[in-house]
Chain A
């Protein structure tokens, strides 16, 4: 549903952003039309993979089922998931994402190292929608 936000599989999974050729600003989600730096004359925006690892800026969870357009099966009991905002040092930006299933807020701390992995957002009979998840490094779920 969001083309070009990530690529690769397994250890090669990466979030994809874009980098401005004029000012070197990085954007995620990707900016393909215009650089948003007000002091930039405007350059080409080229696809760039983001750092695989970062540190927890903050985290929370969702104890109640979010409304649509989030897709979840109303027939099944709601299973809360954690959400982690992760600071990527090299790109100097913070990216929000769901934690890998099974990781709860009790296992998280601000400053903890996490890495990006491929995950399943939702699936139906025909399609599996992939997304990115943050996983504390050292956890092998």
Chain B
């Protein structure tokens, strides 16, 4: 397939609350990815940084920040911000540069030092910013929206808090096997039920924490990979960065209201489903071809939603797929074998890149205890604030 790029290297900084600068995490991840690729930084033609807006001014220009930390060497540089989809957009940008012949080898880096507690908007009075308004007018934090989605699933599909807790039990057991995960302890359903309610019906252990972390990839043209002696690299076959279609009838972060469906009927598929479909179409695969999936489990309930949006099961059937063991390691379609955000926490610009690192390790057969046997096709899926789609399909 002509649209493919090779993944030569993947690297991460372990996630946690380390209290250091995002530059340090990103640079460590970048060095790990370069070492994994066997590529000298000075031979990288382009660097793409996924931005953090919490690192102060340097965060807005992450590409150059990482390039400076690694040592200025004259590479082409790009910085991208797309909230949770920043990492996917960085990968998409790198791929476009490679396919356009602008660079043979591109380093993609994302890292963050997250604040403790709730994410909040940047400072200042900004009544023209929906993210500022939802906090100021409603006190609507991110978990507010996760709670709304969870309660909606309970009403529409009959999901229960026990179903949600089961997702945490699964993901924590997998995170315990991942040396890069922040939380390495298995969690029981009783522990989820005993944790404090944050946003009804979701409890503390249903919701992902904020974290520090970094992830990086070295991408190249297929021709460079061959010259480099990698005959069968993991290949990225699709990067979906689609926007929603008007009118979006689902109340999405950070909006206070949905679009009106008065003048135009809503599209048949939801925004999240359209993110997946665009990736499937570009890759020429369908959900039945997947070996495993990495999805954005900002909450346990949201992971169930992704099963349906990715087409892993029919609408309303996610809880059944979960309880049948279908999404566990060894199941029909393992989901979040990395441990997911439940085990990592959110380091916003790094997470979509970290998902692809997991795809790479699984497809290479290097995922040790959490290896999906015979993994050939993997998808990562996420959704960035303000309508940024994000999904990547990688194959071996």
Task: Give the interface of A toward B (CB within 8 A).
Answer: 1-2, 20, 23-29, 36-40, 57-64, 66-72, 81, 83, 85, 91-98, 105, 109-111, 121, 131
Chain B 112-142 interface mask (CB, 8 Å, partner A; 1/0): 0000011011000101001011111111110
Contacts A36-B246, A91-B262, A93-B261 given: A60-B139 contact, CB under 8 Å?
no
Q: What separation, in Å, do the CA atoms of A58 and B261 have in the docked complex?
A: 18
Contacts A69-B121, A97-B138 given: A64-B262 contact, CB under 8 Å?
no
Partner of B262 from the list A25, A38, A58, A68 (CB cut-off 8 Å) is A25
B251 sits at the interface (CB 8 A): yes
- A93→B135 contact, CB < 8 A: no
Distance between B8 CB and nearest chain A CB, rounded to angstroms: 40
- A62→B259 contact, CB < 8 A: no
A69 / chain B contacts, CB cutoff of 8 Å:
120-121, 125, 132, 135-136
Q: What separation, in Å, do the CA atoms of A64 and B120 have in the docked complex?
A: 14
B231 sits at the interface (CB 8 A): no
Q: What separation, in Å, do the CA atoms of A111 and B259 have in the docked complex?
A: 19
Contacts A2-B127, A61-B199, A62-B199 given: A94-B264 contact, CB under 8 Å?
no
Q: What separation, in Å, do the CA atoms of A97 and B251 have in the docked complex?
A: 12
B164 sits at the interface (CB 8 A): no
Chain B interface residue count, CB cutoff 8 Å, equals 47
A70 / chain B contacts, CB cutoff of 8 Å:
135-136, 138-139
Q: What separation, in Å, do the CA atoms of A95 and B255 have in the docked complex?
A: 9
In the complex, which of the residues A2, A27, A39, A85 has the most CB atoms of chain B within 10 Å of its own CB atom?
A85
B200 sits at the interface (CB 8 A): yes
Which of B82-90, B143-151, B168-176, B311-319 forms contacts with chain A? B143-151
Partner of A37 from the list B133, B135, B264 (CB cut-off 8 Å) is B264
Contacts A27-B260, A63-B200, A95-B257 given: A57-B152 contact, CB under 8 Å?
yes
- B139→A62 contact, CB < 8 A: yes
B125 / chain A contacts, CB cutoff of 8 Å:
1, 69
- B137→A91 contact, CB < 8 A: no
Q: What separation, in Å, do the CA atoms of A72 and B144 have in the docked complex?
A: 17
B134 / chain A contacts, CB cutoff of 8 Å:
96
Partner of B261 from the list A27, A85, A92 (CB cut-off 8 Å) is A92
Q: What separation, in Å, do the CA atoms of A97 and B137 have in the docked complex?
A: 9
A58 / chain B contacts, CB cutoff of 8 Å:
148-149, 151-152, 155, 251
Q: Which residue of A lies closest to B124 (CB)?
A: A69
Contacts A25-B264, A37-B264 given: A63-B198 contact, CB under 8 Å?
yes
Distance between A36 CB and nearest chain B CB, rounded to angstroms: 6
Can you pick out 29 interface pairs between chain A and chain B where the beta carbons lie within 8 Å of each other? A1-B125, A1-B137, A25-B259, A29-B130, A36-B259, A37-B263, A39-B264, A40-B263, A58-B151, A58-B152, A58-B251, A59-B148, A59-B200, A62-B143, A63-B196, A64-B118, A64-B198, A66-B139, A66-B140, A68-B120, A69-B132, A69-B135, A70-B138, A92-B260, A93-B260, A94-B249, A94-B251, A94-B258, A95-B257
Contacts A58-B151, A83-B144, A92-B261 given: A67-B118 contact, CB under 8 Å?
yes
Distance between B202 CB and nearest chain A CB, rounded to angstroms: 8
